[in-house]
Amino acid sequence: MGTPAFAVPSLEQLVASGHRVSAVFTQPDRPKGRGQKDAMPPVKEAALWLGLPVFQPERVREPEVVEQLRAMQPEAMVVVGYGQLIPQAILDIAPIVNVHASLLPKYRGAAPIQWAIARGETRTGVTTMRINAGLDTGDMLLKWETAIEPTETSVELGARLATAGAQLLMETLARFDVIAPQPQDHAQATWAPVIKKEDGRIDWSLGAQEIINRMRGFNPWPGCYGFLRGQRFHIWKASPSDLAITPGALRLEGKKLFAGCGHGSLELLEVQLEGRKRMETSAFLNGLSLESSEGLQ
């Protein structure tokens, strides 16, 4: 059971390692992009390429889906970013192993990679765990840990963790009968909720590095943005600067553009004004005349 690109290496490793995958369950096709055409989840694309049967129930907890799973008589089920809570009726069918992209109990929830970067973490990893009726609260099986590189985005880190998670899953399944499950310390838990578009709006009272961390974590979606002349203004890349500038204010220095923060300032390196292409700031400034008093909201 899985949906996003993060889950694909786990599925591929299951097949390559000789496990017999009876079925793949993933979320329904959803409208995507400007044309809002239905798009297959990455796991469905991978499963079809591997020749595996695919099922896409709107709600996995429906009685007919539970009965379908029970009839398959699986020895085990693997869940990687499925996107639906697994009900007790399914938990009772067979052991379930979950691959989660954090060092639990930190960053439980839907977006652990993005929030770990956005909140300035320097280390993260992958945890395999048993699923219970809670949200990422089950007993832990194995962990793999890594440093978060200073400039790494959620896409780059996600690709590394997906590969590591697939390998950790294989080790977990191979040693499943001898691993001693470890309960999580719920007092140490932190939350990584679903990211909303408004999470990308920059709070200019934050420090420069805090804002840069959010840019890395929320890349590619929703990105980080303010408003310039009433239009959404994305800042895709920036570096810290020592210039003393009022938070949110802009300063033009030759072909360089700076924005003030609560602590320090940012040199804006790659930007995108609403309705225009993403571009280096020097190219953006060629087509724009900024007033010295202008700022970002």
pLDDT at 255: 85
pLDDT band of 292, cuts 50, 70, 90:
low
pLDDT band, very low/low/confident/very high, at 200 (cuts 50, 70, 90): very high
Question: Do residues 161 and 127 lie in contact, with contact meaning Cβ atoms separated by under 8 Å?
Answer: no
At the topology level of CATH, where does 197-286 sit?
Answer: Methionyl-tRNA Fmet Formyltransferase; Chain A, domain 2 (3.10.25)
Cα separation of 161 and 182, whole Å?
Answer: 21
Instruction: Assign domain 5-188 to its CATH superfamily.
Output: Formyl transferase, N-terminal domain (3.40.50.170)
Q: Show me where the domains of the chain are located.
A: 5-188, 197-286
- 109 pLDDT exceeds 80? yes
CA distances from 296 to 14, 256, 273, 293 (A): 49, 16, 12, 10
pLDDT in tens, 121-149: 999 999 999 999 888 999 999 999 999 99
pLDDT tens track for 39-58: 999 999 999 999 999 999 99
Give the confidence band of 291 by pLDDT, cuts at 50, 70, 90. confident
Decide which of 107 and 282 is more confident: 107
pLDDT for the residue numbered 169: 98
Q: What SS3 state is found at 283?
A: helix
- The percent of residues in the chain predicted with pLDDT above 90, rounded, is 90
Within 8 A by CB and 6+ apart from 149, the residues are: 156, 157
Say what the pLDDT of residue 187 is: 97
How far is residue 5's CA from residue 18's CA, in Å, rounded to a whole number? 21
**Cα–Cα distance measured from residue 146 to residue 125, given in angstroms and rounded to the nearest whole number:** 6
- pLDDT for 289 beyond 90: no
| Residues ≥6 apart with Cβ < 8 Å to 225 | 200, 201, 202, 232, 233, 234, 235
What confidence tens digit (pLDDT) does each residue in 160-192 have? 999 999 999 999 999 999 999 999 999 999 999
How confident is the prediction for the chain on average, in pLDDT?
95
Q: What is the pLDDT of residue 234?
A: 97
pLDDT in tens, 237-277: 999 999 999 999 999 888 899 999 999 999 999 999 999 99
| Residue 77 and residue 53 in contact, taking contact as beta carbons nearer than 8 Å | no
Q: What is the pLDDT of residue 34?
A: 73
Please give the pLDDT value at position 253. Answer: 87
Long-range own/partner contacts, residues 118-121 (CB < 8 A, 24 or more apart):
118/213, 118/214, 118/216, 118/217, 118/218, 119/213, 119/217, 120/209, 120/210, 120/213, 121/148
